[in-house]
Structure 1
Amino acid sequence: MKLDDIARLAGVSKAAVSLALNGKPGIGPETRERILQIANEHGYQPKTKTAPRDQQAGSITFLVFANSGIVLEQYYQQPFFRELIHFIEERCRAHGYSLLFSSVDMLNVQEGIRKVTDEKRSDGVILLGTNLNKELLEQVTDSMSTPFVVLDTCFETLPIPFIQINNVMGGYQAGKHLCGLGHRDIGYIASDIRIRNFDDRRVGFMQALRETRVELDEEKVFSVAPTILSSQDELKKQLSAYLDKGLALPAALFCECDYIAISAIKSLTELGFRVPNDVSVVGFDNISEAMIVSPELTTVHVEKERMAHLAVDLLIESIVSGAAVTSKIMVDTQFIERMSSRAPAPATATSLANG
């Protein structure tokens, strides 16, 4: 019995299982009890870890530029980042490093970076790059005095080590899935805040549609906040305005992240539409909530554990060698088909064929 087996039986992520077994916060009491019960019933025995070093090898800082857009002030409560941090902390501990946390004001980057590197006396920095553009990262490069790795974005022309999701691949997988099911009437729900990750996901999605000779009508592209898990009045307003024109709701919707997808499912339900009977919904990220929402969300799985391990290992290599390691590593995605997507209803397929 492995963590993956317990996660599958409990219907949760591997990170959630680890939190439960180690008595850490971050999951609800019912979920924790279910995980522990499954572990006990199957006689789970945790692997014996290598004895810790007498002294910590040093410390690594997880650095965040928080704002009101993608990476919120309470970023550690956002499902994607919460899981990522868990795996980073786990990997640091395995190498004998402690993990520190710090945030910087985006309006005063250089001073903030210097303060972090000087006061924390950290051996290295893992910088969350999700919401950072090329210009800001150039400022970081000029100000950083310790080894660092940027996680969750990539700019190919910058001499910086990056660990990035293969967002183009993930978007492509989502597009191929919907087209493979027979969908031709497809809509798109984008984030109203743009980052490199979302742009790349759209590139991959559009490539899949072009290969299948499916067009995405711009009238079927909607835009909403990317960090709200509940239904959104703005989305319901946009969908209602679309329907008021006498247009039929797209038979399938791709959403740029799971937050948007879960919000879309709830918004569609309130408008009287059934997922997936009336409309299929596909997300991106595979956060733990993707298996809690009803129906369970079809989505693109991001290898958060793999990304975290690569970031820590690359940074420690740079710390130990004393040389800047400027590799750029892209981690492929996996497509996860669940209950929120299905082939279009026969009536829809017939009308499309006649059209």
Structure 2
Amino acid sequence: MARKNKTTLADIAKMCGVSKATVSRVINQSELVSDEVVKRVREALHANDYRRKQPKINIPMPVNKILVLGEQDLNSPHSFFGSILRDLKQQCMDLDISIELLFRSQLLISNTEQVLTRAQAIIVLGMDDDELLERLRSAHLPVLLINGYDPKMQFPSVTPDYYLGGQLAADYLFSLGHKKIKCITANIKPTLYQRTEGFKRSLWSRGITSPDSSIIDLAPYILETGNLSEDVKHLGTDFGAHKWIPDMIRDGVFSDCTAIFCICDMVAMTLIEALRTQGIRVPDDISVLGFDDVDIAELSTPPLTTIRTDHKRIAKVAIHNLIQSINEGGDTVTRTCVSVSLVKRLTCREYKNA
């Protein structure tokens, strides 16, 4: 069936026996048209479902350069923040905004005020310690945190819905018939323990009143030297799991469970390799589920079942919220959660009691 052509201003004018200018005056509610003509034109507009074409409005951006502040692991092709940075670049390119990347180490050894004058706004990736936040507050620039938390609620933030993600992970393992589930976490910052709390919420809802016994927390190992930022920096993207998990397996820490939820994909892949080394098969002997869906997750052996964080959506919401905050003069500070979803691959299977 041929598509019906849309009614134009000229069509309405011809139907009513008036000029296009008169129809335009009626649409714009001009007082220069008689009541009789107004009635006739409006009836024709309604009868023909006329839709006025909305003009395109080019709203100038309040910024043309954003400074992105991150840690050195942005250089890793498989890091969570490397993926976020890639999508931030694309979003800014679409809006004709330039980006400059600055590592935290550069900020600490340089004159903070001189460095920050190069930007009109700042996006911080994954860092929210008190020292850094105080430096940023003194800069008096618009700041947005991605995967960070400002306890004073002075900076807007955007994060994946980690609480929901932890709950989704546990819910899925329970749906496969697993009843003995553990979580490997690293409760060293809010964005990490939110995942743990979501996991525990799922256990609580099933009558497991002591969910803490199902938590394997790497934080005490990480905090051994008392210097959290330095410890994490040198432990790698798996929070040092490669150092401690092999011994945990040998000590039987996981012998009483059939499935394990890991706080991030890199911990999950470290676990899978350590299990394989000790003759324990995934998913035949034990199921493993990760978090983040980094690029390498689907290339692991076997491909990793995980909770996906939408990097593109996070980047888009971050730029939108930052621009909105600037336009509103920073009067409104929001914490935005971006939805997460389950990605089913091959590291989880239905539990069948032998």
Deviation readout 1:311-347 (Å, 9 max, x if unpaired): 1122233445554552221112111121111122321
Q: Give the aligned CA root-mean-square deviation in angstroms.
A: 3.3
Give the match for residue 294 of structure 1: 301
Alignment CA distance shift 1:145-1:78 (3 Å): farther
Q: TM-score, normalised by structure 1?
A: 0.70
Q: Distance in 2 between matches of 1:327 and 1:220?
A: 31
Pick the aligned partner of 2:194 from 195, 200, 224. 200
* 1:149-160 aligned within 5 A: 149-155=144-150, 157-160=152-155
Verify the 8 A CA contact 2:66 2:100 in the aligned structure 1. Answer: yes
Verify the 8 A CA contact 1:230 1:266 in the aligned structure 2. Answer: no
* 1:1-355 aligned within 5 A: 58-64=64-70, 66=71, 72=72, 75-105=75-105, 108=108, 113-118=112-117, 120=118, 122-128=119-125, 130-133=126-129, 135-136=130-131, 138-155=133-150, 157-191=152-186, 194-214=188-208, 216=211, 218=213, 221=216, 223=218, 227-228=237-238, 232-242=242-252, 248-320=255-327, 322-347=329-354
Verify the 8 A CA contact 1:125 1:147 in the aligned structure 2. Answer: yes
Q: Distance in 2 between matches of 1:318 and 1:90?
A: 20
Alignment CA distance shift 1:152-1:220 (3 Å): closer
Alignment CA distance shift 1:263-1:159 (3 Å): same
Give the CA deviation at 1:297: 0.9
Verify the 8 A CA contact 1:63 1:101 in the aligned structure 2. Answer: yes
Deviation readout 1:49-91 (Å, 9 max, x if unpaired): xxxxxx9962111112x3xxxxx45545442112111110000
Count of residues in Structure 1 that have an aligned counterpart in Structure 2 = 282
- Identity of counterpart residues, as a percentage? 23
SS of 2:260's partner is: strand
Give the CA deviation at 1:217: 6.3
Q: Distance in 2 between matches of 1:216 and 1:186?
A: 10
SS of 1:284's partner is: strand
SS of 1:275's partner is: coil
Q: Distance in 1 between matches of 2:295 and 2:98?
A: 26
Q: Distance in 2 between matches of 1:116 and 1:301?
A: 35
Give the CA deviation at 1:157: 4.3
Verify the 8 A CA contact 1:104 1:113 in the aligned structure 2. Answer: no
Give the CA deviation at 1:198: 1.2
SS of 2:69's partner is: strand
Letter in 1 for 2:90: E
Q: Distance in 1 between matches of 2:303 and 2:289?
A: 10
Give the CA deviation at 1:235: 0.9
Q: TM-score, normalised by structure 2?
A: 0.71
SS of 2:337's partner is: strand
Give the match for residue 353 of structure 1: none
Unaligned runs of 5+ in 1: 1-54, 67-71, 348-355
SS of 1:132's partner is: coil
Alignment CA distance shift 1:179-1:317 (3 Å): same
